[in-house]
Every structure is written in C-alpha cells, then in structure tokens.
Amino acid sequence: MKTVVRIICFLTLTTVIRANSYADSLFLEANHFYSNQYYSEAADLYDQLINQGYGHINLYYNLGNAYYQQGHLGNAIWAYEKGLELNPRDSDLKFNLTVANARIVDRVRVPEPFFLLKWYGVLKQSFSPSQWLMAISSVLLGSAALSTVAKLWENRLSKILMTVSSAGLMLVILFSAVFADIYFDISDTEAGVVIAHEGRVHAAPSKSSNLLFVIHEGTKAEISSRQYPWIEIELIDGKKGWLDSNLLRPL
C-alpha cells in the first residue's frame, strides 16, 4: 500500500483566487492532519473539498489513503476508483486499488475473457473519456494539417503525407468507436461501492421482505433502479436485490 501524500495546488485562474486559495489552504491542512496520522480529520477535509466540487487525482488518492488507514475499505476503494476515472493509467492508484480489492470479503472470480476481448478492455481503460477526446482531436488535427500540406506540395513527399493523413483518419474512426462504446457504458450504467461493514440485500424494497444475501464493504455493484430509500443492485455474478441506499456510495 503506497501512502505518500501528494501535494497539489488548486489555484488555476486569477479570477477565482479567493475561492481557490481557500481550497489550497484546506487541502494543505488535510495533508498536515494526514502526515500527523489524524486520518479521520484528514478524510473529513478531503471529502469537504470534493463536496464543494473539487476533483483531482491527488485529492482522491490522498482521500483513499486516509480512509484505508482507518480501515474504511469501502470509502477507500470508492476514492481510488474516482481517481482512476480521471487517469486510468495512474500506477499508484492502480496499485492501492489492487491492495484494497484483495481485502474484499465478497470477491468474485470472473472467468478470463477471450484474449481479443481482454485486449479491447485494456485499450478502453487506457485513457479517461476526456483523454480519448483529446487523442481524437489531436490525430484529426494532425491528419488535416498533413492533408493540407500534401495538397500544396505536388511531389513524391505529398503522396507519403496523404498516406499518413489517411492512416490518421482511420485512427480517428477507430478511436471514435472506442469513445462511443465508453460513453454508452458510462451513460447506461450507474455503479457504486458498499461503504458499510455489511448490507442486507432483500427481495423487495422493504426490510420485511425476504433476505436474499449479505453484501460486504468494498464490493462494487451496478444500480438497476431506485425506490427511495432503497436501490436495486446487481453484482458481477448476476445476483440482484434491494439495498438501503445509505449503505452504498455512488461512483
């Protein structure tokens, strides 16, 4: 478990100096608490920043570590998952999430997918949605620039440039298809992490209904529907049922 506190500065725009100065001071105060092993106080301040609309990889990383040090596995996994949404390639977040996931009681071993599907899954998770958009825009801009230069130069080099430009357009189509798949995954699926030590999952949104199974802290589940204060969840192994919404933190 990597627990180094990451330092960041929220100050980005001169027009919001006062608000971001407050965020900076709050973040540094939280880091001070963490460094002195006051993990509960640190987590409260990190969460306060998140609730005010601030989101950063290092903020989620520190929050996850603060929760993990307290033994709050569910909230730690939630924070690491949120950080990886911003940068799926962050090695520290991935390592800490792996360590935390290893402690989940309800771990389900999923059969290995067909190798092509596995490679495609790795490709999808290599970048965040915003990074995929940036990649698409960059390749499209580069292809357009090469095509323009090729039309201005009527020689052998222009043919090479046009070939590279066409290859770039093919990459744009491929990247766009991957981005569309990611977008529909995000828009169609709502998920969360169980933050209570254990939760009782019922057959209907009522405590008097039949108990189906018990779910434990750190387990990730998809949210199928809502009927306040209940949510219907579905696990990766296909189990479904109704859980008190206060026991699950939405991602």
Position 2 in a domain? no
Task: Determine the average pLDDT of the residues in 229-243.
Answer: 92
Q: Based on the number of CB atoms within 10 Å of its own CB, is 247 exposed (0-12), middle (13-18) or buried (19 or more)?
A: buried
Task: Determine the average pLDDT of the residues in 197-223.
Answer: 93
The answer on 196 and 183 residing in a single domain is no
Looking at 68, 101, 134, which one is the last position of a domain?
101
Position 71 in a domain? yes
The answer on 97 and 20 residing in a single domain is yes
Which residues on adjacent β-strands are paired with residue 108? none
Position 222 in a domain? yes
Task: Determine the average pLDDT of the residues in 63-91.
Answer: 94
For 72-82, letters b (16+ CB in 10 Å) and e give bbbbbbbbbbb
| pLDDT above 80 (res 45) | yes
Q: Provide the domain limits for residue 88.
A: 14-101
The answer on 92 and 132 residing in a single domain is no
The answer on 121 and 170 residing in a single domain is yes
Instruction: Give 131-187 pLDDT, tens digit per residue.
Output: 878 888 888 888 888 788 777 776 667 777 778 888 878 888 888 888 787 777 666
The answer on 97 and 24 residing in a single domain is yes
pLDDT at residue 10, rounded to an integer: 52
pLDDT at residue 187, rounded to an integer: 65
pLDDT at residue 19, rounded to an integer: 53
The answer on 195 and 135 residing in a single domain is no
What are the phi and psi torsion angles at 245 (to 5°)?
Answer: -65, -25
Task: Determine the average pLDDT of the residues in 234-244.
Answer: 91
The answer on 88 and 19 residing in a single domain is yes
pLDDT at residue 170, rounded to an integer: 87
| pLDDT above 90 (res 204) | yes
Position 9 in a domain? no
The answer on 81 and 28 residing in a single domain is yes
Can you tell me the distance from the alpha carbon of 48 to that of 67, in angstroms, rounded to the nearest whole number? 14
| pLDDT above 80 (res 203) | yes
The answer on 20 and 96 residing in a single domain is yes
Q: Domain tally for the chain? A: 3
The answer on 203 and 184 residing in a single domain is no
Distances 46 to 22, 29, 191, 236 between C-alpha atoms, Å: 13, 9, 22, 30
The answer on 209 and 172 residing in a single domain is no
% of the chain residues with pLDDT over 90: 46
Higher pLDDT, 37 or 12: 37
| Average pLDDT of the chain, as a whole number | 84
Task: Determine the average pLDDT of the residues in 106-130.
Answer: 71
pLDDT at residue 67, rounded to an integer: 97
CA distance between the termini of the chain: 22
The answer on 218 and 179 residing in a single domain is no
Q: Which residues contact 7 (CB under 8 A, 6 or more apart)?
A: 28, 31, 58
Helices marked H in the chain: 17-35, 39-51, 57-70, 73-86, 91-101, 115-124, 129-152, 156-188
Looking at 149, 167, 188, which one is the last position of a domain?
188
Position 49 in a domain? yes
Position 3 in a domain? no
Task: Determine the average pLDDT of the residues in 36-44.
Answer: 95
| pLDDT above 90 (res 105) | no
The residue type at 234: E
Higher pLDDT, 146 or 206: 206
Kindly indicate the confidence band of residue 13, based on its pLDDT and cuts at 50, 70 and 90.
Answer: very low
Looking at 159, 188, 217, which one is the last position of a domain?
188
Task: Determine the average pLDDT of the residues in 122-137.
Answer: 80
CATH number for the domain harbouring residue 74 = 1.25.40.10
CATH number for the domain harbouring residue 200 = 2.30.30.40
Position 214 in a domain? yes
Position 106 in a domain? no
Contact 77, 100 (CB under 8 A): yes
